A and B are shown apart, each in its own frame.
Chain A
Amino acid sequence: MGNLLPLAVLTPLLGALATLFLPVRHRAAAGIIFSFATCGAVGLLGPLVVGGESTYHLLGGWEPPLGIRLQLDGLAFLFLILTALVGLPVGLYAAAAQKMPAGKGGTSPLFWPLWMFLWAGMNGLYLSHDLFNLYVVMEIIGLAAVALAILSGRPAALVAGLRYLLAALAGSGAFLFGVALFYGSYATLDLTLLGERVETSHTTAVAFALILVGLWIKAALFPLHFWLPPAHASADPPVSAILSALVVKTAFYLMLRLWTGSFASLTTMSAALALGILGGCAAVWGSYQALRQEHLKKMAAHSTVGQIGFLFIMLPLITAAPAGAVWLAPAWTAGIYQVLAHGFAKAAMFLSLGVFALATGHDRRDSMLNMVSRLPMATFAFALAGVSLIGLPPSGGFVAKWMLLKAAFASGQWWWALIVVWASFLTAGYVFMVLRIAFAPAPVESSEAARPVPKILEVAALALGMGAIAIGFRAEEIVGLLDIAPATEPAIELVEPASDPSDPTDLPNPPDDLSDPPSPPGERRQP
């Protein structure tokens, strides 16, 4: 069954190759076909996860520490699904926008190969279980993302892209240093094996810190977020949607994975608190900056900085908590829901902003005048996205904020609640500032009908906005996925030390019950 895992990576990779070598006019069609195929490949993994077991796959049949292992658990599956569900409408949008006249918002023909490549990289990141492999896919993601960001060819995009590239390289550089130190100390890069072998030492601490710093830059956590707003604001709308909704999250995913998985024994409450405080600062600062922007895409980009901040508030709540603490489950739910809700909502927001920009020719806030009558569907999509970002019920964002507040109160760290609430209030400010203008009637002279925009663009934005709302109606199953523990050891031949002569230490006996019943998230993620 595990043989299905590589499909989720290979399908978009094939798509990248196919769209690269096809003539330009066929690329969109091929891209859409491969998008559906990738969604199908991810969907095929569903039964594996729903069975309640995690699955692994050894690439080429080689076992770690020599071979590379792909591993699927509930968390990875959630990210795979999110990427597929966001990627598909964004792809449809890009395909439809490609038909627009050049210079009027049409996307470049290079979009498809790069996006497919990026998709393959992200799926690879979710499934990889090996530090070096993770480094490689991170580089793939970083390079593809930078290339996508400068596709629009505007001077601002090029400048922002260069900054993005430097930040991405700095991030991966730090990460790679950390990886090298780990390899030097423990002679393995497989996450499970590392998890068993790591012990506190200066080298280990430095290695982990380097990895964290690398991810900190990549996740654009305050105050290292400087590269994000210009890059996300100057890219084409579908690209901005992908970058904001998905690409930044991959760094958070990895951090969460390492923090609560292999390196849980290295984490300390003070580090968690520091990250949480940075997250809180990001939430307030990003939302405040968003409030000050005159340009809508800049607003949305700063809003991403703020929303990423909310994610990191989860860390101090799950670190060093006593086993079975009542706030662990809400804190996990909060984090995951924030990822999902922001993914859908921000993609919807960028796509709807793209529609507005196509219709009016610019993206200043006052272009929104009377938008509610000119483009009601896109305005509605924007409003739904805004509702979820603010955290108003019923929406995924509401569940996220609710759970975050609940965890904060229950753990006694109530001050997080104040930060969350204050940042949400600022979020309401920038969302409604736009909606307020959208409801205002335009003065007669400027009320000429909006330029026609293909309906499918609006539908794509609306579908994503509905997604952000819809996940707020049913949390049970989504949260349930988190209970699917990260995989246990492959029960085969791991005890064979010959597989890595440089490592003489005895490998511990692998647990043999792969069908261990899932434990609640609270108990599972204990350091």
Chain B
Amino acid sequence: MTMGQFLPLAIVASSLIPGILIFFVPEKRATARTVLNLSGAVAKVVLVGVVIWRSLQGLEHELRYDIGADLVFRLNADGPALLFASLSSVLWLVTTIYAIGYLEGSPFRRRFFGFFSLCVTASTGIALAGNVVTFFIFYEFLTLATYPLVVHRGTPEALQAGRTYLWYTIGGGTVLFVGVVWLFVLTGPADFGDTEQLASLAPESVATLHLLFWVLILGLGVKAALVPLHGWLPVAMVAPAPVSALLHAVAVVKAGAFGVVRIVYDVFGIGLARELSLLEPLAVIAAITIIYGSLRALTQDNIKRRLAYSTVSQLSYIALGVAIPGTLATAAALVHLVHQGVMKITLFFCAGNLAETLKIHKVSELDGIGRRMPLTMGAFTIGALGMIGMPPVAGFITKWMLGLGGLQTGDGWIILILMASSALNAAYFLPVLHAAWLRPAKQEWKTHRPAKWGETPWMLLVPTVVVGLLSLLLGLFAATGWSILAWATAIADTWYPATTP
């Protein structure tokens, strides 16, 4: 096995092996578990870093394993794969630290961290999948690994949420299964990026290709939370905060969004998608989802619920970017994949801090909280401003690029959607900020989780501040040559034939 074959496998294994081992570590051996978990998380970041570095030198990273009967398991570290893998690996490391702090002393931690690692394994597997079969395998694996996390608390609401989650995702998975096999029959074991085969079918079987595309999008749309398939997401927020954070930032929803990216660019190819006019309806659905999610977020008093609807809305920027056929919009979609993840994880960490430290779950209880927890609320403010699209936070970059992308292809209505969405984002985030910083506190704060120093235990605080700063830095340095934006633009260029703008 060469280095190029070994490294992609190692990236997946760096969370799979600790995940499996954790199930064998007795519940009481918290230190052993932490060591396993953190070493896996650090190893994953390092491995992804090494692969990026080697890729920059032009080396290929591909692993093929023949399951038999045409089924090929393929991991391939191409541009988008590495982009998504870096997001998952970095955020997994941060979330692991956070989760260790968050769950200190609570029961069933063995189970939690075991499945948590498996969940990240599935997520990196989705990132590195080099063909639809591999993608589908990890996509379903993600459903299974996430379910125990959603129901972890075991409360009736959690079980209900788990049930909803399963019906939606298994249903979506089933539809996707049909689409994937159908695709397989049409193209054979094609790798991602091999679009000729499907394109060559185009003249005769337009209707088939249309149907196939929508079957695939329907299957992926559940996890990508496209309206009306989003119902599970706001319910699933009953999961513990680190799970919600990971669910909303990298794991489940991004799996769907990333799948849409792969289907449009690496399976159909932008040329075919444009030729068949597949993208316009997708753009409309994405736009509806953006507005609908924001409207629903307005009326939620529960902080995590508000954030969840905000995810529904924000996530569809990715689908919208994909649906506008131009390099700028494509780059916007990829950038948002990362930026939204970092900002949303910040917001969920903050919500978790509030809930753990002061048992605050509602927006209406936030009056004056800024003085009690300044760092947490500082991070929250950065995240919220980013979501609104305020420069120089990361979220601004996406909206700017999306707007430019819309103008590039002459879709002026995109600007209107962006404006409406930003206004709505402001309408549901600014009152939170106003209450937190400017209103006086209603009552004495009762501390449930005392900290030795600072406003809350450091294992909760440090990750929150780090991701908060990261959301700021990603925006500030977006114009440099090594930013996510530059990377995304480079990837987007590879998907467009040289002749198109």
Binding site for B on A (CB under 8 A): 329-330, 333, 370, 372-373, 376, 387, 390-394, 398-399, 401-403, 405-406, 409-410, 417, 421, 424-425, 428, 432, 435-436, 439-441, 472-480
Contacts and interface: CB of A to CB of B under 8 A. Distances in A.
B449 interface: no
14 contacts: A330-B69, A372-B111, A392-B173, A405-B181, A405-B182, A406-B185, A424-B174, A428-B166, A428-B174, A439-B154, A439-B159, A473-B67, A474-B67, A475-B67
B151 interface: yes
Contacts of B71: 399, 402, 475
B181 A402 contact: yes
A478 B68 CA distance: 9
Contacts of B159: 436, 439-440
A432 B166 contact: yes
B108 interface: yes
Contacts of B181: 402, 405-406, 409, 417
Given A390-B170, A436-B162, A439-B151, 5 more contacts: A393-B137, A398-B137, A409-B181, A473-B67, A475-B69
Contacts of A474: 67-68
A425 B108 contact: no
A270 B139 CA distance: 39
Given A425-B171, A475-B69, A409 B185 contact: yes
Interface string B135-169: 01100110110011001001000010011001000
Contacts of B70: 330
Contacts of B111: 372-373
Q: Give the 10 A-B residue pairs with the shortest CB-CB distance, closest first.
A: A476-B68, A475-B68, A393-B137, A405-B181, A441-B154, A409-B185, A428-B170, A392-B140, A439-B151, A410-B185
Contacts of A399: 67, 69, 71
Q: With a 10 A CB-CB cut-off, give which of B69, B143, B166, B185 has the most chain A CB atoms.
A: B69
A479 B69 contact: yes
Nearest to A435: B147
B444 interface: no
Nearest to B152: A439
A477 B151 CA distance: 39
Contact of A436 (B140, B163, B173): B163
A406 B151 CA distance: 34
A440 B185 contact: no
B167 to A, nearest CB: 8
A329 B69 CA distance: 8
A424 B175 CA distance: 11
B270 to A, nearest CB: 26
- With most chain A CB atoms within 10 A of its CB, the pick from B23, B67, B151 is B67
B68 A425 contact: no
B184 A440 contact: no
B66 interface: yes
B178 interface: yes
B177 interface: yes
A476 B141 contact: no
Interface in B184-238: 184-185
Nearest to B155: A441
B174 A421 contact: yes
Nearest to B183: A409
Contacts of A424: 174, 177
A287 B24 CA distance: 34
A401 B71 CA distance: 13
A403 B148 CA distance: 29
Contacts of B140: 392-393
A417 B69 contact: no
Contacts of B166: 428, 432, 436
Interface string B103-142: 0000010010000000000000000000000001100110
A394 B141 CA distance: 8
Given A393-B136, A406-B184, A440-B159, A421 B69 contact: no
Highest count of chain B CB atoms <10 Å: which of A399, A435, A439: A439
The A interface, classified by DSSP as helix, strand, loop or mixed, is: helix
B144 A392 contact: yes
Nearest to A392: B140
A417 B136 CA distance: 17
A439 B148 contact: yes
A432 B170 contact: yes
Contacts of B144: 387, 392
B170 A476 contact: no
B185 A477 contact: no
A425 B174 CA distance: 7
Contacts of A477: 68
Interface string B335-353: 0000000000000000000
A393 B141 contact: yes
Nearest to B185: A409
Contacts of A436: 151, 159, 162-163, 166
Given A425-B171, A439-B151, A475-B67, A401 B177 contact: yes
B153 to A, nearest CB: 9
A493 B25 CA distance: 66
A394 B144 CA distance: 11
Interface in B7-59: 23
A376 B27 CA distance: 13
A424 B173 CA distance: 11
Contact of B182 (A370, A376, A409): A409
A376 B108 CA distance: 12
Nearest to B66: A476
Central interface residue in B140, B166, B178, B181, by most chain A CB within 10 Å: B181
Contacts of B163: 432, 436
B141 A440 contact: no
Contact of B137 (A390, A394, A476, A478): A394
Given A394-B137, A432-B166, A479 B68 contact: yes
A402 B162 CA distance: 26
Contacts of B69: 329-330, 333, 399, 403, 475-476, 479
A402 B136 CA distance: 11
A330 B70 CA distance: 9
Given A409-B185, A425-B174, A439 B68 contact: no
A476 B68 CA distance: 4
B136 A405 contact: no
A473 B67 CA distance: 6
A220 B69 CA distance: 30
Nearest to A477: B68
A373 B151 CA distance: 14
Nearest to B138: A393
Given A372-B111, A439-B148, A425 B141 contact: no
B162 A439 contact: yes
A329 to B, nearest CB: 7
B72 to A, nearest CB: 11
B383 to A, nearest CB: 32
Nearest to A330: B69
Contact of B178 (A330, A421, A439, A473): A421
Contacts of A372: 111, 148
A387 B140 CA distance: 10
A479 B70 CA distance: 11
B443 to A, nearest CB: 32
Nearest to B108: A373
B174 A440 contact: no
Nearest to B107: A373
A402 B72 CA distance: 13
B261 to A, nearest CB: 21
A482 B349 CA distance: 55
Contacts of A476: 66-69
B231 to A, nearest CB: 17
Contacts of B68: 474-480
Contacts of A440: 151, 154, 159
Contacts of A393: 136-137, 140-141
Interface in B219-269: none
B312 to A, nearest CB: 24
Nearest to A442: B154
Nearest to B67: A475
